[in-house]
Amino acid sequence: MKRITNLFKSDKMSLAGKEGAAAARRIAQAAGLTAYTASLVSAPGGAALLVRTGVDKSLLLAASKDSVPGWMGEFSGRIMTAAVDDEPLSIRLCPLTHENAVRLRKRFPYTAPRCFGVKTAAGMGDRLGIATPGHVRAVRGTGVVPFLAQQSIREMTRTDRRAKQVMDDASWGVFQEGWTEGFGSDADHLKTTADIDTCIAAGFTMYTVDPSDHVDNSADTCAPGELSSKFDSLDWNALETSSADMKRDYLSGEILLPGDVALQPTEAMLVRAAVKYSAASAHTATMFRYLADRMGEKPFELEMSVDETETPTSTFEHYFVARELRRLGVKWVSLAPRFVGDFEKGIDYKGDVKVFEKSFAEQVAVMKEFGPYKISIHSGSDKFSIYPAAARLAEGLVHLKTAGTSYLEALRVIARIAPALFREILAFAFEHYDSDKASYHVSADPAKVPAPQDAGDDELDDILNGNDGRQLLHVTYGSVLMAKVEGHYVFRDRLLMALRSNEEAYYEVLEGHLGRHIAPFAQES
């Protein structure tokens, strides 16, 4: 067996494999702890790994007792000594604080997010802060870039999490799994410059602008006269153009797009698109310029999302938005239209898949005309029936976004290991569904979900397999996680403790379920 101090002389950052795993166990055992063996990494004169005792995790830094490198002093933690095969070691045991996460990202850059351009990507939101290892396992070997720090301001508010906490949880999970291939981060559904500031401070690399408050959904139903009046009243100064120039730009004849897609815009089509999306395009430009100014020389990426609007984005409307963004100087890496059919939360696509395919192919034609950029699929959880077509038609230029499905799979694990707790959560969800569904696109009928007292322990898992049960539990996540009595959480702490005590069960479920999402988009190695 090699001397443990030889490890500290390694020029390899990652020390995966049987030898590395054995070394990680020896170091951790010397300190009376259990190692996450995949995490072992070398640094000049020492090594680092993640360890645990019970459900509590710590960062362990180790070096020869007689030669402690200065970088170990950058981390805060208690110092102890231990011996491995009579080799005395200096060990610093560090809590997983924000300050130590910042130092981790600096010392081991693979634990910090970066930009990936148009590479095929999957965003995997983590509403509980403990799902990253399972997410990493789901993408390993697929060539799909994982966006592991992904959370919207709305989700942060409903789970009482902070942007820096979202980032830290992803970094620690990446470190735990020894994932050195890189990951992205998505500050999702940002509506204000204050939102941008919050996420810049946390170190996010992609910023998804949600201009839905500036979309005029009435454009699809307005009478022609009213629509014309709205067009004339647009803020042309903010749009940096005029009505005459816009008509000249868009009404000069047939528009030919890649893939033999032809658009025949009429004045009525243009007026409708402009009324619906002009203010949203201008707001996106404002957000982009602010972001570019605040980021300075730091690299960043932008996505523009109009998925949370009342009506689908037509091919010409997508063309209009992309052309307006380009005219206004916006640089973007992905764009999320509102697709045809229903992208309800937590369940498969509802609609005619063939109609979706035809429409999606036209959206891709617009993307190729102004890009390439990625077509972003929001509310992408569990849309298994449309993944193959999306992957094929976009030729990998896709950013799939999921979030709620990882929370639902956490509840699946709870149903298996803590059925009494699951029943309490289910009963609570029944009480809060009507109010919580207001801001979500869902159609669940709670009457079709078994009452907690009517399902046996071996039947609880199946509630997560039906559309009604999934949506009932999906949209109530905020109420469940924030419920308090006399200042104490009703469910949150017990739910997290159960999952942390059975983390491998959670990781296994996530790997399988998210793996089904990612498989159609996997890249050939």
DSSP state letters, 307-367: -SSSS---HHHHHHHHHHHHHTT---SEEE---SSB--TTS--BS-HHHHHHHHHHHHHHH
pLDDT of residue 54: 94
pLDDT of residue 525: 41
pLDDT of residue 139: 98
Helices 224-232 and 267-295: crossing angle in degrees, nearest 10, is: 40
Whether residue 111 is predicted with pLDDT greater than 50 in this model: the reply is yes
pLDDT of residue 439: 82
Q: What stretch of H or E contains 185?
A: strand 184-190
* pLDDT more than 70, % of the chain: 98
Mean pLDDT value across residues 460-487: 97
- Please report the domains of the chain, with CATH numbers, ordered by start residue: 4-107 (no CATH), 120-405 (3.20.20.70), 407-517 (no CATH)
Note the pLDDT tens digit of each residue in 398-437: 999 999 999 999 999 999 999 999 999 999 999 999 999 9
pLDDT of residue 402: 97
Phi, psi for 15 (deg, rounded to 5): -120, 45
Whether residue 328 is predicted with pLDDT greater than 80 in this model: the reply is yes
pLDDT of residue 12: 58
The number of angstroms, rounded, from the C-alpha of 347 to the middle of its chain's C-alpha atoms is 17
* Catalytic entry in 126, 168, 169, 188: 188
Cα 189 to Cα 70, 136, 149, 286, 378, distances in angstroms = 41, 23, 13, 15, 10
pLDDT of residue 16: 64
With beta carbons less than 8 A apart as the criterion, state whether 321 and 340 touch: no
pTM given for the model:
0.96
pLDDT of residue 78: 97
Task: Pick the closest to residue 470 from 448, 498, 501 (CA basis).
Answer: 448
The band of 523, judged by pLDDT with boundaries at 50, 70 and 90, is: confident
Note the pLDDT tens digit of each residue in 197-213: 999 999 999 999 999 99
* Catalytic entry in 155, 303, 308, 369: 303
Give the sign of the dihedral formed by CA 72, CA 78, CA 81, CA 84.
negative
With beta carbons less than 8 A apart as the criterion, state whether 405 and 514 touch: yes
- Amino acid letter, residue 307: D
Mean pLDDT value across residues 190-203: 98
- Enter the tokens of residue 112: 């910090």
The band of 19, judged by pLDDT with boundaries at 50, 70 and 90, is: confident
DSSP 451: P
pLDDT of residue 18: 83
Task: Pick the closest to residue 362 from 377, 380, 375 (CA basis).
Answer: 375
- The answer to whether 188 is a known catalytic residue is yes
Mean pLDDT value across residues 366-374: 97
pLDDT of residue 14: 54
Whether residue 4 is predicted with pLDDT greater than 90 in this model: the reply is no
DSSP 437: G
Whether residue 275 is predicted with pLDDT greater than 60 in this model: the reply is yes
- The answer to whether 457 is a known catalytic residue is no
pLDDT of residue 11: 60
Report how many helices (DSSP H) and strands (DSSP E) the chain contains, helices first: 20, 17
Note the pLDDT tens digit of each residue in 84-101: 988 999 999 999 999 999
The band of 1, judged by pLDDT with boundaries at 50, 70 and 90, is: low
Q: What stretch of H or E contains 74?
A: none
With beta carbons less than 8 A apart as the criterion, state whether 127 and 492 touch: no
